[in-house]
Structure 1
Amino acid sequence: MSKTPVPFSLHVADEDIADLRARLARTRFPDQAPGDAWQFGTDVAYLRNLVEYWLTGFDWRAQEAALNAFPQFKVGLHGIDLHFLHILGNGPAPMPLLLLHGWPGSVFEFLEIIPRLTDPARFGGDPRDAFTVVVPSLPGYGLSFSPNQPRFDVPAMADCLFDLMHEVLGYERFGAQGGDWGAAIASRLAYARTHALIGIHVNLLSAVSRDPAAYPNPTDDERRYLDELAHWTLEEAGYASIQGSRPQSLAVGLTDSPAGLAAWIVEKFRAWSDCGGDIERAISRDRMLADIALYWFTGSINASFWPYYGRLHGAVILPPGDTISVPAAHAAFPREIIRPPRSAAERVFTDLRRWTVMPRGGHFAALEQPALLAADVQAFFGSLR
């Protein structure tokens, strides 16, 4: 595979869009279980409405155009064609920043935040805070997927993306920012490639221990965290167990049914965002469907489960007891899915320089609160310039 990036523009074939619409029109919905509408998963009435909009109102070509407004490339790396956006910063000395999504996200998460990071003066900011931003589709996700390609756990993703930044793009040192698996990858890079990381900014503390045995004498905040974690494990973590143990069985249904795929993903957008029960208060219907449609058109949902399988079968961000010494920052959004306290984070991040308690927002920070997230990223990395 060549390590020379090739310009890329997304264009889904008309016949693939027609096939999607035909499938949506033939959707067979389940009945709604008695009880609260979302108590057992995605509300069927909401899903019916969403599928109808996807079929008759959603403009995929507009979402394509929004993505294609940014420079995109593909490069042969680690046995796959890796897709990434590469946007040069408009400032005197833009810092290279690797911007990382997670599951069930995609590069569509970042369309509102990219201009804030690359051209801060456009938003009333200082050009000296500009970044040159690299936004990959994670290996196995979206446009970084083709059938039967190698699968990637978090350490393998970190190795691949380090080579993108270092070997392909020539950045000796760079920053990294991420949530969800993106936060795990940023943390792994900080651990395994310490020399190359200027700093990392995360909005999920993936590297902090979830083992109650790691907190033998918990503080009040740590006890609150352990209680939240116990509730999460009981009520919310079922998706991770099935994606980590039997990903292919689940993927059959989600690859065959666009409504099934939407139901699986939209429930996470609702449960994990700061939406008060109304998803579209936090994330627009069009951007949500753009993300879901990208999984559909690329057929990548099976491969996207692989980090869960890797974690369940021994892949780690860092070995238990080890620490991360790279300068680090955490944006603590109030509706994040897991919220370790600073005391727990400092056991792993030995140079934790910034801890920002956000007034609003949830798991999908770049989608929900791009201005708040961009400002915090600029403030943190500005202190490291």
Structure 2
Amino acid sequence: MPNHAQSLTRRAVLAGGAVIGALSVLPPPVAKAGGSDEEIRPFKFKASKEQLDDLRRRIKATRFPEREVVDDNSQGVQSTTIQKLAKYWAEEYDWRNVEARLNALPQFTTKIDGVDIHFIHVKAAHQGALPIIVTHGWPGSVIEQMKIVKPLTDPAADGGSASDAFDVVIPSMPGYGFSGKPTEKGWDPVRIAKAWIELMKRLGYTKYVAQGGDWGDAVTEQMALIAPPELLAIHVSMPATVPENIAVALRPGGKKPEGLSPDESHAFDQLADFYAHGLGYAIEMANRPQTLVGIADSPIGLAAWMIDHDIRSYELIARVFDGGIEGLSRDDILDNVTLYWLTNTAVSSARLYWENKLAFFQPKNVKIPVAVSVFPDEIYAAPQSWTEKAYVKLIHFNKLPRGGHFAAWEQPKVFCDEMRTSFRSLRA
């Protein structure tokens, strides 16, 4: 985060599928005789009937607060939205649908630095595919990326060229989803980046690219700073580009600089609004994550906490539960919340905010090639002028007409097109 956010917290905090079918999935490396920490183990998940019955019981037993005293969302998640979500979750939603799609994908776990790391790994049916590791953020999971697996691994089936195929690796961050929960301090974005480098090495990849948004951006940029020779380039959808003078102006009492271009002025206004109204969840998780017992005990408390991530994402979700047709469906949203519930990762995922020491939006001096896609409803739409200064080897920059914070989830076709274009020049 820019220093404005640092003044609010003792940690720098975040400013914020389909079944594969006929795809050729090669087996993972063979484990050493007798097993070892480097063993790669197949993984599937099935929630018990008791877990799902308990979830519905808790939803139906929710004690809702009184209605907000305003006619907008300025007090947070609105009563009508959360009650519609609760009704659908308890009466119509079926976890087994997404569970089946997840289990149709090749999933694995392997222990890295003492923590079991879960990941999806799908190899393309085409020779010469470019490996890519894609990292989610909070409140995300591998469910965010399920829609992009088939288009990236089999682009010909998506109207693209086989020469643009990727081998896709999608890990769950430590403390998230099906990965293990750290039992010691120190699992920050730098340590996760090192684990991802080890994971790609363990999978046998001698060259690859990486992509991330939200915390995935922080992890991916740290991979780029470590710069293993195998990592050819990165792509980020929530880039760290905010210049120092803008960061200073965003601090309490700061004044908007004069002479900004229209794109720079718009980005400044987005950031100023987020710092003024959108940081509540991040401040609490950065300071006192273990206090959030309520979201580990109440599924509706968890859902409300998760959907109030940033205002444009929340407004999209509210429209969905009002019956709107958006990039996300009601099932999409509840698939992700239910995963957090079933894995009891509400608090373990929150601790990443406590661990983080990075200034999130300020440039990190990445030296390897970088591609950037700017989605208009992101926390801030990075201007090209800031981006070119932040990344000295910018190989792709594009402003998209639609999409927000959860780009791969909301706009999978656009996202996949961006991946193909971004990395095409790097292919052998």
TM-score tier by shorter-chain length is over 0.9
Which residue of structure 1 lines up, in the alignment, with residue 172 of structure 2?
137
1:62-93 deviation line (CA, Å, top 9, x unaligned): 11001111100011111111100000012120
Query: What amino acid is the match of 1:228?
Result: Q
> Compared with structure 1, are the counterparts of its residues 175 and 334 closer, same or farther at alpha carbon in structure 2 (3 Å cutoff)?
same
Greater alpha carbon shift after TM alignment, 23-32 vs 266-275: 266-275
Q: 1:99-118 residue pairs with structure 2 within 5 A?
A: 99-118=134-153
Query: What amino acid is the match of 2:232?
Result: I
Give the Å deviation of 1:194: 4.7
Given that 1:154 and 1:316 are in contact with CA atoms closer than 8 Å, whether structure 2 keeps it comes out as no
Which residue of structure 2 lines up, in the alignment, with residue 90 of structure 1?
125
Give the Å deviation of 1:242: 1.0
Aligned partner (choices 222, 238, 245) of residue 204 of structure 1:
238
Q: Distance in 1 between matches of 2:351 and 2:317?
A: 31
Q: Within the alignment, does 1:309 sit opposite 2:354 as a pair? A: yes
Give the Å deviation of 1:286: 0.7
Which residue of structure 2 lines up, in the alignment, with residue 235 of structure 1?
277
Q: Within the alignment, does 1:171 sit opposite 2:205 as a pair? A: yes
- Where 1:93 maps in the other structure, the secondary structure is coil
- Where 2:390 maps in the other structure, the secondary structure is coil
Given that 2:240 and 2:363 are in contact with CA atoms closer than 8 Å, whether structure 1 keeps it comes out as no
Aligned partner (choices 261, 266, 289) of residue 307 of structure 2:
266
Which residue of structure 1 lines up, in the alignment, with residue 58 of structure 2?
23
Q: Distance in 2 between matches of 1:332 and 1:238?
A: 25
Q: Distance in 2 between matches of 1:211 and 1:295?
A: 38
Which residue of structure 2 lines up, in the alignment, with residue 71 of structure 1?
106
Q: Within the alignment, does 1:124 sit opposite 2:165 as a pair? A: no
Give the Å deviation of 1:276: 8.9
Give runs of ≥4 in structure 1 deviating > 6 Å: 214-218
- Where 1:112 maps in the other structure, the secondary structure is helix
Q: Distance in 2 between matches of 1:276 and 1:6?
A: 36
Greater alpha carbon shift after TM alignment, 12-21 vs 110-119: 12-21
Greater alpha carbon shift after TM alignment, 373-382 vs 334-343: 334-343
Q: 1:49-64 residue pairs with structure 2 within 5 A?
A: 49-64=84-99
Q: Within the alignment, does 1:358 sit opposite 2:400 as a pair? A: yes
- Where 2:426 maps in the other structure, the secondary structure is coil
- Where 1:99 maps in the other structure, the secondary structure is strand
1:32-86 deviation line (CA, Å, top 9, x unaligned): 1121242211111221121121111111111100111110001111111110000
Give the Å deviation of 1:206: 3.4
Query: What amino acid is the match of 1:63?
Result: V
Given that 2:133 and 2:209 are in contact with CA atoms closer than 8 Å, whether structure 1 keeps it comes out as yes
Given that 1:79 and 1:149 are in contact with CA atoms closer than 8 Å, whether structure 2 keeps it comes out as no
Q: Distance in 1 between matches of 2:366 and 2:193?
A: 15
Q: Distance in 2 between matches of 1:185 and 1:105?
A: 14
Give the Å deviation of 1:12: 1.2
1:75-133 deviation line (CA, Å, top 9, x unaligned): 11111111000000121201110011111011111111110100001112111110000
Q: Distance in 1 between matches of 2:341 and 2:307?
A: 13
> Compared with structure 1, are the counterparts of its residues 381 and 191 closer, same or farther at alpha carbon in structure 2 (3 Å cutoff)?
same
Q: Distance in 1 between matches of 2:236 and 2:94?
A: 32
- Where 1:103 maps in the other structure, the secondary structure is coil
Aligned length: 380
Q: 1:153-232 residue pairs with structure 2 within 5 A?
A: 153-166=188-201, 168-206=202-240, 208-209=242-243, 212=246, 219-220=260-261, 221-232=263-274
Given that 2:120 and 2:170 are in contact with CA atoms closer than 8 Å, whether structure 1 keeps it comes out as yes
Query: What amino acid is the match of 1:190?
Result: A
1:179-198 deviation line (CA, Å, top 9, x unaligned): 11111111111111252321
Aligned partner (choices 365, 371, 376) of residue 418 of structure 2:
376
Identity of aligned residues (%): 37
Given that 1:273 and 1:336 are in contact with CA atoms closer than 8 Å, whether structure 2 keeps it comes out as no
1:272-302 deviation line (CA, Å, top 9, x unaligned): 2783951452311111101001111111111
Q: Distance in 2 between matches of 1:46 and 1:322?
A: 39
Aligned partner (choices 378, 384, 397) of residue 342 of structure 1:
384
> Compared with structure 1, are the counterparts of its residues 276 and 165 closer, same or farther at alpha carbon in structure 2 (3 Å cutoff)?
closer
Given that 1:174 and 1:198 are in contact with CA atoms closer than 8 Å, whether structure 2 keeps it comes out as yes
Q: Distance in 2 between matches of 1:196 and 1:48?
A: 49
